[in-house]
């Protein structure tokens, strides 16, 4: 979503839009563990944005669901993703290379794209150690049986 800074004012403006699951999954595909998690549906973004001088303030929340593979039993399951974010987006000075800082971003010209910020927050919200449940018994190391669904006859 492209935001034009001159169109913003000190008055809060609400944003409600979706971020495409396909663009998030493309980013996941580039990672080493891309087969463990995926977005099956678009994420919902709700935010408030306003400008104070040349600074843009953005507060919002990402809601959606993620399809995961349990680290213990290898079953697929779905979990709810929710992440709140807050950014101060400042105008970059010409010739300066902006520093990366948590909660701080930069724009050049009169507009910026919220997409990269939102996608980054969604990926940061992923739980790399997601389990289908805290009580997951996992797989038997000998026979590979899923101990959540069947009793294994192997001795411990």
For residue 85, how far is the Cα from the chain centroid?
A: 10
The DSSP letter of residue 139 is B
Q: Is residue 140 one of the residues assigned to a domain? A: no
Higher per-residue confidence, 3 vs 154 = 3
Residue 82 structural domain: 2-124
23 φ, ψ (degrees, to nearest 5): -70, -35
pLDDT value at residue 66? 93
pLDDT for 155:
65
pLDDT at res. 16: 95
Does 134 map to a domain? no
What pLDDT is recorded for position 29? 86
pLDDT tens, residue by residue, 52-100? 999 999 999 999 999 999 989 999 999 899 999 999 999 887 766 656 6
Q: Is residue 141 situated within a structural domain?
A: no
Rounded CA-CA distance 83/45 in Å is 10
In this structure, are residues 93 and 107 in contact, taking their beta carbons and an 8 Å threshold? no
Residue 104 falls inside a structural domain: yes
pLDDT tens-digit map of 106-116: 888 899 999 99
CB count in 10 Å sphere of residue 72: 16
If one counts the domains in the chain, the total is 1
Q: For residues 143 and 115, what is the distance between their CA atoms, to the nearest angstrom?
A: 45
Q: 104 near 92, Cβ under 8 Å?
A: no
């Amino acid at each position: 979503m492209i935001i034009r800074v001159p169109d913003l004012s000190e008055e809060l403006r609400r944003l409600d839009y979706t971020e495409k699951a396909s663009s998030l999954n493309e980013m996941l595909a580039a990672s080493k563990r891309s087969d463990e998690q995926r977005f099956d549906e678009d994420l919902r973004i709700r935010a408030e944005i306003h400008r104070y001088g040349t600074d843009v303030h953005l507060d919002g929340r990402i809601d959606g669901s993620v399809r995961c593979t349990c680290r213990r039993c290898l079953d697929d399951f779905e979990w709810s993703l929710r992440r709140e974010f807050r950014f101060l987006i400042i105008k970059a000075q010409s010739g300066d290379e902006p520093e990366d800082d948590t909660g701080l971003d930069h724009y050049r010209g009169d507009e910026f794209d919220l997409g990269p910020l939102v996608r980054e927050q969604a990926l940061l919200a992923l739980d790399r150690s997601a389990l289908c449940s805290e009580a997951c018994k996992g797989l038997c190391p000998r026979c590979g049986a899923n101990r959540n669904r069947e009793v294994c006859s192997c001795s411990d």
